[in-house]
Amino acid sequence: MTPVPDRTAAGGTAGRAAWTAFVIASAFFLYEFVTRIEPSLDTETIAAFFGLTKSGFGSLSSLFFWIYAPMQIVAGLVLDRFGARTFVIAGSLCCAFGVLLFTATDISGVAAAGRVLTGFGASFAFVSALWLVNHWFAPERFALLSGAVNAVGMTGAAIGAVLLSGLVEAAGWRLVFLGTGLAGLAIAAAAILFLREPASPAAEADTGAAEHIRQSLAAVAGSGRVWAISITGMLFYMPVNVYAGLWGATELTSGHHRSQVAAETIVSMVFWGMALGSVFGGWLSDRLGHRKYLVLGGAVLTALAYLSVLYLPLSAFAEGALLLAGGFFGGFQMLTFAMAKEGIANSVTGTAVAFVNMIGIAGALIFQPLVGYLADAAGGNFELALATVPACVALSALIVLFVPEYRHPDHISDSAQARFPARAETLERTVP
Ligand SMILES: N[C@@H](Cc1c[nH]cn1)C(=O)NCC(=O)O
């Protein structure tokens, strides 16, 4: 067992350093979320500027994800070995320089290199934030604070998109990209000046690169429990990627005859619900000291909400309210990160979080085109193709039912042991 460092972050200098790390890492996550959606703010002008067709522009924009997804596991491995500070600084710099390169050129190949650099830097944001939360704060605060990181990303991106589209209209996309590039440099500067490394097993690690990779991957990718949780997370996250992120508005306009603006507004409820639900779910889970049945209950309620929106004759208001609820209970999928990392040693937290995230993002790369293909095969019937959304979420509930609720001793702090000895013992036991 790895000794549990003092992660109580109760106040004083340690408390300040912990909260500073939380704010900087959340700001980096929010920032990378803005950079990923930024090209969508003025697709036609940007495509025309680089002389690209719609599909060429789509490919240019999606380069972000092609580097972001595989880099997750690399990010997790290096965080566990070297700590987070260097990678938050380097990641935010790469993200920012990628945006600046994109705006400085009129050659599509150079813009593509900029997009790859942005995706590369961005890949460190989410995993670093959860790694810092894990190592700066007590284990009983992980679910709440990781949910809060998610909420910052979601609300920041939602509000940022509205603000930035206004600015793009007023000042043009290149100036807005220049501004966001500079904002990234400001985050890197804040990290250089204020981000402190927490006490973690990385500080004492002396294994060679090959041995570290072998041991960490064996602990994470070699664990059936981690695989089951990752697939649960992927299926549970599927409505966000597939419904809210791509096809939901199309289904509401074509199947439910909503206007484009009404459909976009209704779909945006998913993100607001998620922001609230990931914080509430995390808070409740930390309070109860349980994860599994909250994931299960959240998934069942999410599936019911999407089933109702897809197949019941409802008013626009009721659709919005149900998607808010679907997003809210969908926010409970953030608990899959806590479940995965808590089952194994503290020294591989970054790799575990990164693995769950990578599988979740891979789901988007599979399901987004799959639903499009199903809709085409069904003669353009999205209502039918989107049955996969509640079906996947229901499947996630079924899978998590068979995942044991288990907490490795590294993730039970001394204070929790002292306060709840019986609960600590129960959590350590494998409960089917
Ligand atoms: N909530 C995650 C995605 C996820 C993966 N598995 C379960 N949930 C998320 O938003 N990650 C942020 C990212 O961009 O990587």
Query: For 9-23, what is each residue's pLDDT tens digit?
Result: 444 556 999 999 999
With a pLDDT cut of 70, the percent of the chain lying above it is 92
Taking residue 192's Cβ as centre, other Cβ atoms within 10 Å add up to 13
The pLDDT of residue 381: 86
- The CA 356 to ligand 1 mean position distance, Å, reads 8
Residue 320 has pLDDT above 80, yes or no: yes
Q: Tell me the β-bridge partners of 431.
A: 405
Nearest to 403 by CA among 223, 256, 276: 223
Do the beta carbons of residue 61 and residue 38 sit within 8 Å? Answer: no
- The CA 30 to ligand 1 mean position distance, Å, reads 13
Site to probe by mutation for ligand 1, drawn from 67, 237, 279, 396 as the one with most ligand atoms within 8 Å of Cβ, is 237
Condensed to tens digits (0 to 9), the pLDDT of residues 72-98 reads 999 999 999 999 999 999 999 999 999
- The CA 34 to ligand 1 mean position distance, Å, reads 15
**Cα(121)–Cα(129) distance, integer angstroms:** 14
DSSP string, 186-202: HHHHHHHHH--PPP-HH
Condensed to tens digits (0 to 9), the pLDDT of residues 88-129 reads 999 999 999 999 999 999 999 999 999 999 999 999 999 999
Mean pLDDT for 345-366 is 93
The pLDDT of residue 415: 65
Give the least confident one: 49-53, 79-83, 200-204, 344-348.
200-204
Residue 44 is inside which H or E element, if any? helix 43-49
By CB neighbour count within 10 A (0-12 exposed, 13-18 middle, 19+ buried), where does 213 fall? middle
Condensed to tens digits (0 to 9), the pLDDT of residues 137-152 reads 999 999 999 999 999 9
Condensed to tens digits (0 to 9), the pLDDT of residues 22-68 reads 999 999 999 999 998 888 888 889 999 999 888 888 888 889 989 99
- Which domains are delineated in the chain? 1-206 (1.20.1250.20), 207-432 (1.20.1250.20)
Atom of ligand 1 nearest to the CA of 32: 14
Mean pLDDT for 361-365 is 86
Residue 431 has pLDDT above 50, yes or no: no
Mean pLDDT for 351-363 is 95
> Phi and psi for 431 in degrees, rounded to 5?
-110, 120
Atom of ligand 1 nearest to the CA of 36: 14
Give the least confident one: 87-96, 130-139, 323-332, 361-370.
361-370
With a pLDDT cut of 90, the percent of the chain lying above it is 66
> Phi and psi for 388 in degrees, rounded to 5?
-60, -25
Do the beta carbons of residue 128 and residue 91 sit within 8 Å? Answer: yes
Which residues does a 6 A CB cutoff place in the pocket of ligand 1?
126, 150, 233-234, 237, 333-334, 336, 356-357, 360-361
**Cα(153)–Cα(331) distance, integer angstroms:** 13
> What is the separation of C-alpha 341 from the centre of its chain, rounded to a whole number of angstroms?
15
Residue 397 has pLDDT above 90, yes or no: yes
Q: Which residues neighbour 358 within 8 Å (Cβ) at sequence distance 6 or greater?
A: 69, 70, 72, 73
Mean pLDDT for 161-182 is 91
**Cα(92)–Cα(382) distance, integer angstroms:** 38
Nearest to 184 by CA among 30, 31, 21: 31
Atom of ligand 1 nearest to the CA of 154: 10
Mean pLDDT for 174-188 is 96
> Of all protein residues, whose CA lies closest to atom 11 belonging to ligand 1?
357
**Cα(331)–Cα(274) distance, integer angstroms:** 4
CA distances 245 to 190, 239, 268, 336, Å, are 31, 8, 9, 20
Positive or negative torsion for Cα 208, 214, 220, 223: negative
> Of all protein residues, whose CA lies closest to atom 12 belonging to ligand 1?
126
**Cα(149)–Cα(29) distance, integer angstroms:** 8
Length of the chain: 432
What global pTM score does this model have? 0.91
> Of all protein residues, whose CA lies closest to atom 14 belonging to ligand 1?
126
Do the beta carbons of residue 150 and residue 286 sit within 8 Å? Answer: no
Q: Is the ipTM of this complex over 0.90?
A: yes
**Cα(215)–Cα(160) distance, integer angstroms:** 40
Condensed to tens digits (0 to 9), the pLDDT of residues 214-255 reads 999 999 999 999 999 999 999 999 999 889 888 888 889 888
